[in-house]
Amino acid sequence: MLQQTQVATVIDYFNNFVVNFPTVVALANADEEEVLASWAGLGYYSRARNLHKSARIVLSKYRGIFPTSHSELISLPGVGESTAGAILSLACNQSRPILDGNVKRVLSRCHRVAGHYSDSKVLKEFWRLAKYHTPSKQNANYTQAIMDLGATICVPRKPLCSRCPVSRHCKANLCNDQASFPQKKARTIRPEKSLALLAYRNDKGDIYLVKRPNKGVWGGLWSFEECEDTKTAITAAIKEHNIKASIVSSLPKFKHSFTHYHLWIRPIIINSPSLEKGYFNINKMALGIPTPVKKIITMLDSLNPTKSNE
DNA sequence: GAGCCGTGGGA
DNA sequence: TTCCCAAGGCT
């Protein structure tokens, strides 16, 4: 959960997740659908599918006992070099390096590392430095400490160098150019895409949802049928879905931003009589639904609150 | 190896 | 409003 996601964002999801899946065995025995439902809203959904896969591997291959060797950990889906290092140092107190965003920032300032870590040569240098600093003893303490240092003192903007325990070793601090590290990545403009989401409701108030393929955005989650945001494409798609369907309202489009593009979403609210297959009472089902889709469902409920909770 | 994969908070 | 970026990994 913590991969590319801040602690504050994770906490509620984590607490809920470990209630639903208290042990590795419980997670392994769960359906992927339940796991994704517990993950919905957190993002990067391949993490949830990989975690579930890993739990099943731990159960089948390691008899439910989580492995504690680097080679076994790194072979689990979703566990890369840094996560393996975090597990081995924090849980097992082994001398293994990690390299998360916090550590990169601390190291980049401490050693005035030029370039951005998206450059593989620079990344290699970060790993070299991370290994160099990793102590042979008490590495659990060290790992927690350098991450917390990055999270609380050596923060991205306006680092609190006067309170930093290693400021006298920090090259950037000594040169007084902390603001120049880590070097920014040359920013690229995110393209804008657009689509229409077709929110079909049948006579019972159930909603039509389709399961998305694992590959691509919102992988494995449930979403509305989508089509090109043009009048002709929308009309054709609705006619194809249900000849008796009629548009209730076309809501104003809104923007949802991803890391690598912006998406303009136009919700189309549609009455779809006499159909049941593929329609869900989402109040009764625990389904993994992406955030903007959930947002539209909330709008739906406020449009027609009477039928939604039977 | 470069692109892809979510979302929310802070400035 | 827009941009940055976060306990990264996979293809």
Give the CATH class of A192-300: alpha beta
Q: What is the pLDDT of residue A305?
A: 43
H or E element that contains A262: strand A262-271
Please list, in sequence order, all residues whose beta carbon lies within 8 angstroms of the beta carbon of residue A286, skipping any fewer than 6 positions away: A33, A34, A37, A38
How far apart (Å, rounded) are the C-alpha atoms in residues A294 and A246?
A: 22
Judge whether residue A307 has pLDDT over 80.
no
Lowest-confidence region among A88-102, A147-161, A245-259, A295-309: A295-309
Query: Which chain A residues 261-290 have CB under 7 A to strand C?
Result: none
Q: Which nucleotides of B are covered by protein (CB under 7 A)?
A: 1-9, 11
In this predicted model, what pLDDT tens digit does every residue of A109-139 receive, in sequence order?
Answer: 999 999 998 889 999 999 999 999 999 999 9
At a 7 A CB cut-off, the residues bordering strand B are A 4-6, 8-9, 41-46, 118-120, 157, 216-219, 256-260, 290-292
**Any strand C atom closer than 7 Å to A75 CB:** no
Tokens of A219: 């992988």
Q: Which two tokens stand for residue A78?
A: 């979703």
Distance A217 CA to B4 C1' (A): 9
Q: In A242-282, where does DSSP find H-type helix?
A: none
Q: Is the CB of A20 under 7 A from strand C?
A: no
Residue A63 near residue A57 (C-beta atoms within 8 A): no
Q: Using an 8 Å Cβ cutoff, are A160 and A153 in contact?
A: yes
Q: CA A188, C1' C11: Å apart? A: 22
Number of neighbours of residue A119 by Cβ within 10 angstroms:
13
Burial degree of A104 (CB within 10 A; 0-12, 13-18, 19+): buried
Side-chain-facing half-sphere of A301: CA atoms under 13 Å: 12
DSSP character for A116?
-
Domain A98-187 in CATH 1.10.1670.10? The answer is: yes
Of the pLDDT bands very low, low, confident and very high (cuts 50, 70, 90), residue A304 is low
DSSP string covering A155-211: -SSS--GGG-TTGGG-HHHHHT-GGG-SPPPPP-PPPEEEEEEEEEE-TTS-EE-EE
CA–C1' nearest nucleotide, residue A79: C9
The nucleotide lying nearest A190 (C-alpha to C1') is C3
A215 CB closer than 7 A to any strand C atom? no
Could you check: is the Cβ of residue A86 within 7 Å of any atom of nucleic acid strand C? Answer: yes
Q: In CATH, what number does A1-79 get?
A: 1.10.340.30
Q: How far is residue A140 CA from its own chain's centroid?
A: 26
In chain A, where the domains are located: 1-79, 98-187, 192-300
Mean pLDDT of A205-234: 97
Nucleotide nearest to A90 (CA to C1'): C7
Q: Write down the pLDDT at residue A187.
A: 80
CA/C1' separation A111–C7 (Å): 22
